[in-house]
């Protein structure tokens, strides 16, 4: 049967790729592919050492193609075809083509540059690869060992037969019932299927897959892949199990899985307690969760370095024990969470992380108590950028820490229709230390139609009967934002020794006033921002010179002109704004972006 890849994640690309669409360009889309080995669109097959195979793709909008074998770029190959010779050995290989063009490359180069500047290190290859959307890529998985498994046959026996060099277990169409946990304790294994391959878990008390079960003191497994099949369950109530429990695995890929089950945890790690009661975690790197559809489940307990969680579509309700759509716990470092669509994914929130060095951008979060939530001892070096958050009950973006959080950037987000706060800083716990916001910069966001304060620092003055003291590092910088139609204050700063600076923000229709406490202010205004269509989530500013229309995908002119255009901090960078830009950044979520509304003032020399 012809294999049909699952492309469920593509439905969210159009609403999230604004960095590409402002110039009317989209990422290329692969429309056909073939290989000379099978002569058709098959993407998983067996090969022999020394065979020559030509892989071919065709993509609308492509200007060139990037070819990789096991993640290694094939230099000098830029066309639509790639001739490859199978190495003279046993093994498993992934051959991938990425169709690209100038706009997509500019987007990727910008993200890579931004990563280097923020973290002072090169971007990990797995994160860079994740910047390319699913629609522009095609991958073949080939091996010198391939075992096809029919419904009713043992998946475990097929895995056990894989040689040390690795191989493929291919799930043929039909329902594969899983009654016992499947164990993988060797490297270089791919479990793949077709859209008509269904893996059905029959026991809510058993995990489906466990990787590297006896991991303590052992080397990590390498290169494990799950790709391209459905997951279901024979039960319709959540148990206490996971689809994949991963223990110390490097280069784990979970891609194009359509999870229809009631397994409460889609992905988790193992952890235990030390003799003194502390926690210990297995350590992994290069986790890749890409382009999956997940209903009624959560991504939990992920403890990994240099990882990407992108282009996943998550929805549904959870039991009270599974509190988040994504719960990326402590121990994550350098993790990129982007282009995910999450709607009412859990009781507490859509995205939660305790990760340091996290980049959370271009996600859509709808419903739940919180859209994006930082917690734990104080994750630092975190950027929350260009996300859409709407319909939450507690806050759009929030932090709840036990320690000091440093170098947090919240910018270019659109937060709307929240029953609670737009952005909330709070704290709790048994080890509350000095520190609250610890250096948070809130820049060029829109906070609209919230039931409480736009931005609030709500920290306890006492804990266990003793005063909680905060030092002067507790600075809150709020600049170039639009806070409109909120029922509380615009900004409520820390009541202790923390500092709050409000600069060139627009407070419009704020019920209780601009500030709910001492706040150093400069250049703040109170005027109608003149959004294009706030009721439908379009917060572009109306402009007589030109406004980007994301639905029509073109620039349009209005009869009125927003006073928020050219009203931002005169020292702020505006180099990303299209001409004419007036030589000054706009206030609001599109300030210093390619979708900034145009100025009626002749463009001046740009900064930077």
The CATH code of the domain that includes 51 is 2.60.40.10
The C-alpha atoms of residue 221 and residue 218 are separated, in whole angstroms, by 9
Q: Which of 93, 121, 142 is the last residue of a domain?
A: 142
What pLDDT does 79 receive? 94
What pLDDT does 302 receive? 67
Residue 112 lies in a domain: yes
The C-alpha atoms of residue 348 and residue 188 are separated, in whole angstroms, by 37
Residue 250 lies in a domain: no
**Domains: count for the chain:** 2
Q: Which of 83, 112, 142 is the last residue of a domain?
A: 142
The mean per-residue pLDDT over the stretch 477-491 comes to 96
**CB–CB of 399/434 below 8 Å?**
no
Q: Could you report the per-residue pLDDT of 381-399, keeping only the tens digit for each?
A: 899 999 999 999 999 999 8
Contacts for 104 with CB less than 8 Å, ≥ 6 apart: 20, 25, 27, 28, 132, 136
Report whether pLDDT(410) > 50: yes
Residue 396 lies in a domain: no
Q: 466: cis peptide before it, omega within 30°?
A: no
What pLDDT does 282 receive? 59
The C-alpha atoms of residue 79 and residue 81 are separated, in whole angstroms, by 6
Contacts 24+ apart (CB under 8 A), 526-535: 527/563, 527/564, 528/563, 529/482, 529/484, 529/562, 529/563, 529/564, 529/587, 529/588, 530/560, 530/561, 530/562, 530/563, 530/564, 531/446, 531/448, 531/562, 532/558, 534/416, 534/448, 534/449, 534/484
Q: Which of 125, 142, 159 is the last residue of a domain?
A: 142
- Lowest mean pLDDT of 163-177, 220-234, 324-338, name the range: 324-338
CA 582 centroid distance within chain: 34
Length of the chain: 608
The larger pLDDT score, comparing residue 436 to residue 574, is at 574
**Residue found under tokens 């790639």:** 82
Beta bridge partners of 147: 169
**CB–CB of 366/344 below 8 Å?**
yes
Residue 204 lies in a domain: no
Sign of CA pseudo-dihedral 360, 363, 364, 368? negative
In terms of DSSP bridges, do strands 388-390 and 414-416 run parallel, antiparallel, or are they unpaired?
Answer: parallel
**CB–CB of 531/474 below 8 Å?**
no
Contacts for 105 with CB less than 8 Å, ≥ 6 apart: none
Q: For residues 533, 536, 540 and 546, what is the CA-based torsion angle, rounded to 10 degrees?
A: -60
Joined tokens for residue 1:
């049967």
Residue 108 lies in a domain: yes
Report whether pLDDT(297) > 70: yes
The C-alpha atoms of residue 427 and residue 374 are separated, in whole angstroms, by 11
The mean per-residue pLDDT over the stretch 208-237 comes to 90
Provide the residue range defining the domain that includes 556.
539-608
Q: For residues 96, 71, 3 and 8, what is the CA-based torsion angle, rounded to 10 degrees?
A: -90
pLDDT band (50, 70, 90) for residue 401: low
**CB–CB of 238/183 below 8 Å?**
no
Residue 572 lies in a domain: yes
Residue 157 parent element (H or E): helix 155-160
pLDDT band (50, 70, 90) for residue 403: low
Residue 194 lies in a domain: no
What pLDDT does 221 receive? 93
Annotate 532-567 with DSSP letters as a single string.
EEGGGTEEEEP-SS-EEETTTTEEE--SS--TTTT-
Collapse the DSSP code of 127 into the 3-class scheme (helix H, G, I; strand E, B; otherwise coil) and give the result.
Answer: helix
Q: Could you report the per-residue pLDDT of 249-261, keeping only the tens digit for each?
A: 999 999 999 999 9
Query: 43-54: b or e for each residue (b if 16 or more CB lie within 10 Å)?
Result: bbbbbeeeeebe
Measured between alpha carbons, how far is residue 268 from residues 209, 243, 300, 301, 600 in Å? Answer: 11, 8, 5, 5, 53
Report pTM. 0.92
Residue 93 lies in a domain: yes
């Amino acid at each position: 049967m012809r294999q049909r890849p699952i492309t469920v994640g593509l439905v969210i690309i159009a609403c999230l790729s604004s960095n590409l669409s402002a110039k009317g360009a989209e990422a290329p889309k692969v429309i056909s592919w073939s290989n000379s080995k099978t002569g058709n669109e098959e993407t998983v097959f067996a090969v022999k050492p020394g065979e020559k195979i030509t892989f071919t793709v065709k993509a609308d909008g492509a200007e060139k193609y990037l070819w990789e074998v096991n993640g290694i770029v094939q230099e000098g190959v830029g066309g639509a075809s790639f001739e490859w010779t199978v190495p003279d050995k046993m093994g498993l290989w992934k051959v991938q083509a990425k169709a690209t063009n100038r706009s997509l490359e500019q987007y990727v180069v910008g993200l890579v540059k931004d990563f280097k500047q923020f973290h002072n290190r090169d971007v990990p290859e797995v994160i860079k690869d994740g910047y390319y959307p699913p629609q522009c890529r095609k991958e073949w998985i080939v091996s010198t060992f391939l075992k096809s498994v029919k419904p009713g046959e043992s998946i475990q026996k097929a895995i056990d037969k894989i040689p040390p060099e690795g191989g493929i277990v291919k799930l043929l169409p039909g329902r594969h019932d899983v009654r016992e946990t499947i164990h993988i304790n060797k490297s270089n294994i791919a479990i793949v299927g077709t859209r008509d391959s269904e893996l059905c878990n029959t026991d809510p008390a058993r995990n489906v897959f466990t990787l590297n079960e006896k991991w303590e003191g052992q080397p990590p497994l390498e290169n494990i892949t799950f790709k391209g099949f459905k997951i279901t369950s024979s039960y319709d109530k959540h148990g206490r199990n996971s689809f994949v429990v991963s223990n110390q695995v490097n280069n784990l890929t979970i891609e194009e899985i359509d999870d229809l089950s009631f397994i409460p945890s889609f992905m988790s790690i193992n952890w235990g307690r030390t003799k003194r009661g502390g926690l210990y975690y297995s350590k992994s790197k290069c986790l890749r969760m890409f382009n999956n559809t997940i209903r009624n489940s959560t991504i939990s307990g992920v403890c990994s370095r240099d990882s990407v969680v992108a282009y996943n579509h998550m929805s549904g309700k959870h039991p009270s024990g599974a509190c988040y759509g994504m719960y990326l716990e402590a121990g994550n470092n350098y993790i990129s969470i982007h282009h995910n669509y999450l709607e009412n994914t859990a009781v507490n929130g859509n995205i939660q992380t305790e990760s340091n060095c996290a980049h959370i951008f271009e996600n859509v979060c709808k419903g739940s108590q919180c859209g994006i939530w930082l917690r734990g001892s104080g994750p630092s070096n975190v950027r929350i950028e260009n996300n859409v958050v709407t319909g939450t009950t507690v806050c759009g973006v929030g932090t709840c820490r036990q320690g000091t959080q440093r170098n947090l950037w919240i910018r270019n987000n659109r937060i709307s229709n929240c029953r609670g706060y737009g952005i909330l800083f709070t704290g709790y716990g048994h080890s509350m230390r000095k520190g609250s916001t610890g250096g948070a910069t809130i820049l060029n966001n829109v906070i609209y139609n919230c039931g409480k304060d736009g931005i609030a620092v709500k920290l306890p003055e006492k804990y266990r009967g003793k005063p909680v003291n905060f030092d002067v590092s507790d600075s809150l910088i709020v600049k170039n934002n639009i806070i409109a139609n909120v029922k509380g204050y615009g900004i409520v700063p820390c009541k202790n020794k923390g500092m709050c600076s409000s600069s060139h923000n627009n407070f419009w229709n704020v019920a209780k006033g601009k500030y709910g406490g001492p706040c150093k202010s400069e250049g703040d205004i109170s005027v109608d921002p003149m959004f294009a269509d706030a009721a439908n989530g379009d917060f572009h500013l109306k402009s007589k010179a030109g406004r980007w229309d994301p639905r029509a995908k073109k620039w349009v002119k209005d009869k009125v002109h927003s006073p928020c255009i050219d009203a931002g901090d005169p020292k702020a960078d505006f180099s990303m704004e299209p001409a004419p830009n007036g030589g000054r950044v706009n206030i609001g979520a599109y300030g210093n972006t390619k979708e900034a509304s145009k100025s009626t003032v002749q463009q001046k020399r740009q900064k930077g």
